[in-house]
Chains A and B, each alone.
Chain A
Amino acid sequence: MRNFIILVITIPLLTAFLLPLLKIFSKKLSNFCIGLNLILINIISFFLYKSILENGNIIYSVGASAPSITAPSGFPIRIILTANALSSFLAMFFTIIASLTFFYSLNTLKEYANLDKFYILYLLLLVGILGFLFVGDFFTLFVFYEISSISTAGLIVFLRNKENFKSTFHYLSIFSIGSLFLLLGIGLLYSQYGFLNMAIISQKIQLSFLDKIALSFIGSALLLKVGVFPFYFWKIEAYKVSPISAIILSILSSLSAIYVMFKIVFYIFGLNIPFIIALTLLSALSILFGNLLALAQKNLKKIIAYLAISELGYIILGISSGFLMQNSKFEFNAIKGGLFHIINDALDIGTLSLIIGVILYIAKIKNSLSYNSVSLQQNEIRGLAHKYPLLSISFLLVILALSGLPPLNGFASKIIIYESIFHLNPALTIIGVLGSILTLAVLIKIFALIFLGAPNRDYQPAPKIAMVVIFIFLSFMILIGLFPMQFTNYFINPSVKALISKPGYKNNIHLQQDNQEQNHSIIHLTLHSKQRYFNYI
């Protein structure tokens, strides 16, 4: 049971490495292996989540049986993975969505060449997302940050146009600077304390001026990966040109970056009040800006990007205002609303992008600026409701869910956020409700332009497996919307308790570290001299 953390990360890695070998035999064998792989990961992550609910947090060190066993003359630096209730629940949920979009992409990306390379990068991005959830020390954080950013760069450039190359170049340049700042922050922390382990640093930290600089560097590098208001430029360019399954995985990586950012800010640096106030203001601005700019767009995939930015703003607004209202009875509800909205956001925007993917597949537009874009101004796609009634009904349900209208899941999480933010400041609730209204306006305009009216040409038949995947997503949305209380009691409440209370794994490592320091006096001397040397500088 303890090894399940590493199996979730390395089994897709193994298949990604084996895929060029399997491709030689037949294409169907490789697709079958990927599908089998993803189902296996779903089962393993479910059992991991169950074992964490029963037994508590898991600490896993790669290469040794306990994290503080060192070589006779070495430093206690190990690669450590930790799992608590929130990260294992997110891992279970993300693997379900990733496997469903894999089956969707089998159907819609059929006629492109080099599809095996796409799936290798797809699995590598999944490895990056899942590993990012389980980090326990700073070196692993940097490694998985790099893995996920470079894999998305490869996925974005899959459809090759001139515009794609420019967008990927922008993406890579911004992310290389972001990862450099992350490395700078980690280097500042390591030079002060001599450890890379998150738990040990959180005990030994004194919040000096250098620590605050390190916090701002690491925090803004992780905010760059999330993609909220100040750092959203790469998101628009990247989503404009990439295939749909890459968009959904990139949204999942942004959601995992939210969890890691709050973990680092809360566990390691204590609660830094100015940073969290800044986060609240930036998320409120991102709700407004995301929805306002989405109204003026003519490209369908850019609209998905702006709506994703505003939904991420809701999540960060809920969680950070929960941290601001400590020692009051609304803290639990605010954080519960934010974490619940992670699930609903992934489902809603996932379904919206799947439907738009089906629309673009049906229309097969070849002569516009980039191959897979649609301009709403010229209105090239019209009147789809006559031939595809099921697609239009699912789009109507997505409109209800994204703008937070009653019987679906968007309402359930947004009303928890509204009513707990009200006690912090009523202006934030006004901004939230305005954002919902603007989302509704955007989506109704798209619906009316694309689905209503008379059709202007013949369209291809809808792909069947894609429609099945859309229905599975819709059934999740309806079930969560109809039974939100049961869903939050089983899944969300343990996650909120795991986020609020500082974890027990910290105490575990501390005790073993003390025993170890008595045994190996050589390590004691070398560590102390190292600290003194760096403190002089």
Chain B
Amino acid sequence: MNRVVKIISLIMLSPIIIFGGYIICHGHLTPGGGFQGGVVIASAIALLIIAFEDKIIKNHLFSLIETIGLTFFISIAFVGIFKNTFFYNFLSNTNYILGKTIYFGANSGYLNSGGIIPLMNLAVGVEVASALSFIILSIKNK
């Protein structure tokens, strides 16, 4: 591809990733969440793959990141078994990390609330981003 395309894709990389991260992190307050934010991040990586099509990238890194995201998801769900049942929200309503108690009624959204839901959003976002870039890479490498 052109030089212009390469430079502009490198410039546009950081706003897209930050926007995707914003969608992931505020998943329990605004529309969006893990899957949608992950797709946005994957589009940034797809931009890189299309612009720099003469470089050879291997697939192993994305597969590793995907498994890290997935095992994080399942192991946090397993921790809940020690308290009550599987997937129990053991961080909500404790004033520890993510568990500020929110009272009933309309408010403007507190980032500190939600329990394990933001952690799950992070895991799903990481996993979706790497999985979709894996797919795009394997289409390009064929």
Q: Please determine if A and B sit in direct contact within the complex, based on CB atoms under 8 angstroms apart.
A: yes
**B70/A3 in contact, CB under 8 A:** no
**B104/A10 in contact, CB under 8 A:** no
**A60/B78 in contact, CB under 8 A:** no
In the bound complex, residues from chain B placing their C-beta under 8 Å from that of A13 are 74
Q: How far is the CA of A13 from the CA of B67 in the complex (A)?
A: 12
Nearest to A65 among chain B residues (CB) is B84
In the bound complex, residues from chain B placing their C-beta under 8 Å from that of A55 are none
In the bound complex, residues from chain B placing their C-beta under 8 Å from that of A72 are 104
CB distance from B92 to the nearest CB of A (A): 10
In the bound complex, residues from chain A placing their C-beta under 8 Å from that of B87 are 62-63
Interface of B is mostly: helix
Q: How far is the CA of A63 from the CA of B116 in the complex (A)?
A: 11
CB distance from B65 to the nearest CB of A (A): 10
How many A-B contacts at CB < 8 Å in the complex?
Answer: 48
Chain A: interface size category: 10 to 19
Q: Given A10-B74, A72-B104, does the pair A20, B85 have CB atoms closer than 8 Å?
A: no
In the bound complex, residues from chain B placing their C-beta under 8 Å from that of A21 are 64, 67-68, 71
Say whether A73 faces chain B, with CB atoms less than 8 Å apart: yes
Say whether B86 faces chain A, with CB atoms less than 8 Å apart: yes
**A64/B85 in contact, CB under 8 A:** yes
In the bound complex, residues from chain A placing their C-beta under 8 Å from that of B67 are 17-21
Q: Given A17-B70, A20-B63, does the pair A10, B78 have CB atoms closer than 8 Å?
A: yes
**A65/B85 in contact, CB under 8 A:** yes
Interface residues in A1-58 by Cβ distance below 8 A to B read 3, 6, 10, 13-14, 17-21
CB distance from B17 to the nearest CB of A (A): 24
Say whether B77 faces chain A, with CB atoms less than 8 Å apart: yes
Q: How far is the CA of A20 from the CA of B87 in the complex (A)?
A: 24
Say whether B135 faces chain A, with CB atoms less than 8 Å apart: no
**A3/B64 in contact, CB under 8 A:** no
In the bound complex, residues from chain A placing their C-beta under 8 Å from that of B89 are 63
CB distance from A245 to the nearest CB of B (A): 23
Q: How far is the CA of A17 from the CA of B73 in the complex (A)?
A: 10
**A60/B64 in contact, CB under 8 A:** no
**A73/B104 in contact, CB under 8 A:** yes
Interface residues in A325-362 by Cβ distance below 8 A to B read none
Q: How far is the CA of A20 from the CA of B60 in the complex (A)?
A: 9
Say whether B81 faces chain A, with CB atoms less than 8 Å apart: yes
In the bound complex, residues from chain B placing their C-beta under 8 Å from that of A17 are 67, 70-71, 74
Binding site for A on B (CB under 8 A): 63-64, 66-68, 70-71, 74-75, 77-78, 80-81, 84-89, 104
| 25 interchain pairs, CB-CB under 8 A | A3-B81, A6-B81, A10-B74, A10-B77, A10-B78, A10-B86, A13-B74, A14-B74, A14-B75, A17-B67, A17-B70, A17-B74, A19-B67, A20-B66, A20-B67, A21-B67, A60-B85, A61-B85, A62-B85, A62-B86, A63-B85, A63-B87, A63-B88, A64-B84, A73-B104
Q: When A and B form their complex, which 5 residue pairs have the shortest distance between CB atoms, in order from nearest?
A: A17-B70, A6-B86, A20-B67, A63-B87, A62-B87
Beyond known contacts A10-B77, A62-B87, A64-B85: 4 more, CB 8 A cutoff: A3-B81, A18-B67, A61-B85, A62-B85
